[in-house]
Amino acid sequence: MTVLDYVYTATFAMLALGVLCALVRLVRGPSVLDRIVCLNTVSVLLVSVVAVEVAARGDTAYVGLMVSLALLGFVATLTAARFAERRAHDRD
């Protein structure tokens, strides 16, 4: 095993820990906006996992998946934030 393989393994472990922490915050989040931010964080971390996998394999076949996940996460965050804003505005 080369040094780069150790780096990929450590990176995967740190990203998995980040996803786990974000999911805990998603479940325990005190407000809807905290949960929206956590969902955005999870989507960014998933794109990062795919990017590390692309780098580890040296295969660019998953670049389309990365772009799709990033776009889906962005649109989902905007939609959820807009929904939360309208919901807060309707309560006032």
Residues of the chain falling short of pLDDT 50: none
Alpha-helical runs (H) found in 1-92: 3-28, 32-57, 63-91
Distance CA 61, CA 90 (A): 45
What pTM value is reported for the model? 0.84
pLDDT digits (tens, 9 = 90+) for 36-52: 899 899 999 999 999 99
pLDDT, residue 92, reads 65
Quickly tell me which residue has 């998933």 as its tokens.
46
Domain ranges of the chain: 3-91
Alpha-carbon distance values, 13 to 7, 19, 30 (Å): 10, 10, 27
